[in-house]
Amino acid sequence: MRPKRVYKPYSIHLVKFTHKKYIGTDTPKDYASQVRLEDPSRNEDREVKIWMNHPLRYAGETFYQSDFFPKEETRKSNKGTILQVVRNPGWLLPYLSCGIVTLGLLIHFGLHLSVFLRRRFA
């Protein structure tokens, strides 16, 4: 009854987590995670920064800075981060549709321009 578990050939470890709030509120202003990405199958070992609206894209998946674990009463800093992992196989479709719309607008503009130029210089 539990979700299917999928193991990946790479691992991600949290190195550093920072969190800033707007003054006088609990609303997050910025939170970021410095993570180490290790992938022996691709000989990759690097540190990457993930922060709000700047996800990590790797191996067809996107890792978003989703939330964080709030600090405990005894600690001065926050405990850790929560990453949301998204796989989007249709990521190319919006770009393709924008290209089709642009092509259609250029054709439409070109047809009207040719009619205008024929009338103007005829």
Closest CA to 18 of 63, 76, 85: 76
CA angle 43, 11, 47 (to 5 degrees): 70
Residues in the chain: 122
The alpha helices in the chain, defined as continuous H runs, are: 93-121
pLDDT in 10s for each residue of the chain, 122 residues: 888 888 899 999 999 988 888 888 878 788 889 999 999 999 999 999 998 889 999 988 999 988 777 766 445 556 778 888 999 888 899 999 999 999 999 999 999 999 999 998 87
**Separation between Cα atoms, residue 18 and residue 8, nearest integer Å:** 26
- Cβ(52)–Cβ(46) under 8 Å? no
Q: What is the pTM of this model?
A: 0.68
Domain ranges (residues) in the chain:
1-89, 92-122
**In whole angstroms, what is the distance from residue 14 CA to residue 68 CA?**
12
